[in-house]
Amino acid sequence: MLQTFHDRLDVSETQLEHWLTLSLDEFLALPESQTLLSSLDVELLKETLPTAGQTLAKQLPPFYAWLKNELKLKRVPDSPDHTIKWTIGFLNNQESLQRLVELHRPVPLPALEASIPRLVGTFDAVEEDRVRQEWQKAISALCLVLAIAARSENREAS
């Protein structure tokens, strides 16, 4: 997971490890987090939503099967439709990071962290480098938010 974040977000592992010790509110209050999130090329992501939708429609069903069969998760979506719809909503400022965290709260921390590299890898087949890299960066940034929130909640529950 750290390597995925390091590779896709161009953040040092030391910085990532520090961020993973913070609460989500603490992380989001950091200027570095705002810089990271604002560095996403939202216009390119919006322009390439059809490519992302096709990629997710093709790649998410095997990913969901892996979540069920390998990670033994019980609550796994039946189709990629909700993910595609949420992504479109997020890029159009109709969904929030808090909502993303709420939707993933039931996922156990080990499963969440194990799934991140594979989820980011769903875009490996996108041929155009710039599009692939931007979508992998965006998914990585969203997953980083999920990992920070999950670790924080896990610490609070201990």
pLDDT in tens, 95-132: 888 989 998 999 999 999 999 999 999 999 999 999 99
Cα atoms found within 13 Å of the Cα of residue 88, Cβ hemisphere only:
13
3-state secondary structure of 101: helix
Q: Residue 93 pLDDT more than 90?
A: no
pLDDT at residue 90 in the model = 86
Q: Render pLDDT for 40-81 as a digit per residue (tens, 0 to 9).
A: 999 999 999 999 999 999 999 999 999 999 999 998 988 888
pLDDT at residue 39 in the model = 93
Residue 20: band (very low, low, confident or very high) from pLDDT cuts 50, 70, 90: very high
The CA-CA-CA angle for residues 61, 65, 71, to 5°, reads 140
Q: Render pLDDT for 3-13 as a digit per residue (tens, 0 to 9).
A: 999 999 999 99
Residue 89: band (very low, low, confident or very high) from pLDDT cuts 50, 70, 90: confident
pTM of the model: 0.93
pLDDT at residue 132 in the model = 97
Please report the domains of the chain, with CATH numbers, ordered by start residue.
2-157 (1.10.490)
Q: Which of 158, 129, 125, 151 is nearest to 57 (CA)?
A: 125
φ and ψ of 23, to 5 deg: -80, 165
